[in-house]
Amino acid sequence: MAIITEEEEEPKILNPPKNKPKDSDFTKSESTMKNPKPQSQNPFLFWLYTTLIVSLATIIFISLSVFSSQNDPRSWFLSLPPALRQHYSDGRTIKVQVNPNESPIEVFVAESGSIHTENVVIVHGLGLSSFAFKEMIQSLGSKGIHGVAIDLPGNGFSDKSMVVVGGDREIGFVARVKEVYGLIQEKGVFWAFDQMIETGDLPYEEIIKLQNSKRRSFKAIELGSEETARVLGQVIDTLGLAPVHLVLHDSALGLASNWVSENYAIVRSITLVDASISPALPLWVLNVPGIREVLLGFSFGFETLVSFRCSKEMTLSQIDAHRILLKGRNGREAVVASLKKLNHSFDIAQWGNSDGISGIPMQVIWSREGSKEWSDEGQRVAKALPKAKFVTHSGTRWPQESKSGELADYISDFVSLLPRSTRRVTEEPIPEKVQKVLEEAKAGGDHDHNHGHGHDHNHGHGHAHAGYTDAYGLGEEWTT
């Protein structure tokens, strides 16, 4: 009987290699592993890339410097229209301290008329400036009233930003590029590379520390009711204006309300000109990218906005002047920041009937050419201030330029009905050296009077101070 045995089949290779490696390939691989070929690094490429990066940073910095020259105060001023340059030349600047821990800033003031008459201080709303009231203060000056218009910080020719040194504030790409370029200028191009060679790591902490310690950034001035109170108080004290007749236009009501409440004793009267908590100009649109560039970059855009919301009587040159002042030197940033600090819950009735303020004579000048909503707002203000005199003008919500004479007449007539202001003059003590000179001169005059025989009596009295120069350097002919 035959025995049948079954042989195992060898496994089939499904995917045989296409190219079977040769023995020579293994030999080459082994020889390569035993004797690896060194890779040559070309140092020329490193220096080439470094030079290109530094050159590119230099070009960017120079381009940005030229681009930002419009923010330079001198360049900006020279680019202004003649009317704005003339307005600045006719005014003056005053140093004020807005916050105790910050550097003083400059506030621009325009005035007209004699300071020895009634002083009318005009405070504008956000987005405006003293330039809008230049014709109005001139009209007041011609009527025998000293008119003063203030540029609140962040507006007009007053400072709109302050320099912040040090700190870890967030900055933009442009400022970051300038910082890097300044660090390269100070430490050298290869400073960080040398530090990396010595320590084995980039000196990130030292770089950040140097950047933060020498960082100079511009911070937009944020103006609220407390800051406005400090500014008004210092300007009035510096110019010696107290007591004052206060004129508040537009959103200046909310900004100046704190100062009035704290200083009602030196406020002779208050005139509200189309005053409201929110400004007539919709400043919120200046915070929208794209729209703000069109409105502030082109005259027709800003003219359309002003004509629609503020005034239809203003000329194109007047509107364009406001656009330029609002755009230049970070004005937009300052106004938008101040808009956020407005107290929209301000109650005019509660404020007007509070102790101290209720006894101040008030006048409300309101537009009769505005919308129905604005006329209703005027009636609401009149009911909130029942003791106030209510009159209307023929302009719109920004009447200060087209109806400057009409407004000046209302203010002048209102002020003239009140008793004349009396100013308290504080006599400064005479310096000790000056007092000694005066006493010696008086003693010498008495000696000549008692022992000067042969001299006319009246003549001796008439020249009691003869023989010495006036203590204040005016000369003896000015002495009485």
359-398 CB burial, b ≥16 within 10 A, e <16: ebbbbbbbbebbeeebeebbeebeebbeebbbeebebbbb
Q: How many CA atoms within 13 Å lie on the side-chain side of 19?
A: 4
> Is the CB of residue 131 less than 8 Å from the CB of residue 325?
yes
pLDDT at 178 over 80: no
For residues 35-53, average pLDDT: 64
pLDDT at 450 over 80: no
What DSSP character marks residue 386? T
Whole-number pLDDT of residue 248: 97
Place of tokens 């003031």: 109
Q: How far apart are CA 77 and CA 75, in angstroms?
A: 6
- What distances in angstroms separate CA 43 from CA 40, 48, 50, 206, 369, one per listed residue? 10, 9, 11, 27, 78
Instruction: Pick the range with the lowest mean pLDDT from 100-104, 278-282, 291-295, 356-360.
Output: 100-104
Q: How large a percentage of the chain has pLDDT more than 90?
A: 52
Residue 400, token pair as written in the block: 């200060």
**Which residues, in sequence order, are bridge partners of residue 111?**
148
Contact residues for 445 (Cβ-Cβ < 8 A; gap 6+): 460, 464, 465
Residue 430's φ and ψ, nearest 5 degrees, are -75, 135
DSSP-assigned states of every residue in 314-378: --HHHHHHHHHHHHGGGHHHHHHHHHTT--TT--HHHHHTSTTGGGS-EEEEEESSS-HHHHHHH
Q: How far apart are CA 187 and CA 472, in angstroms?
A: 56
Nearest of 280, 284, 343, 351 to residue 312 by alpha carbon: 280
Determine which helix (DSSP H) or strand (DSSP E) holds 40, and give its type and residue range.
none
- What distances in angstroms separate CA 382 from CA 151, 348, 366, one per listed residue? 28, 10, 10
Instruction: Pick the range with the lowest mean pLDDT from 50-59, 175-184, 266-275, 378-387.
Output: 175-184
Maximum separation of any 2 CA atoms in the chain, in Å: 186
> Is the CB of residue 301 less than 8 Å from the CB of residue 295?
yes
pLDDT at 390 over 90: yes
- Strand 244-249's sheet: what is its strand order? 92-96, 105-112, 146-150, 119-123, 244-249, 267-273, 362-367, 389-393
- CA 155 vs. chain centroid, Å, equals 6
Contact residues for 443 (Cβ-Cβ < 8 A; gap 6+): none
pTM of the complete model: 0.69
Q: How large a percentage of the chain has pLDDT more than 70?
A: 63
pLDDT digits (tens, 9 = 90+) for 86-101: 999 999 999 999 888 8
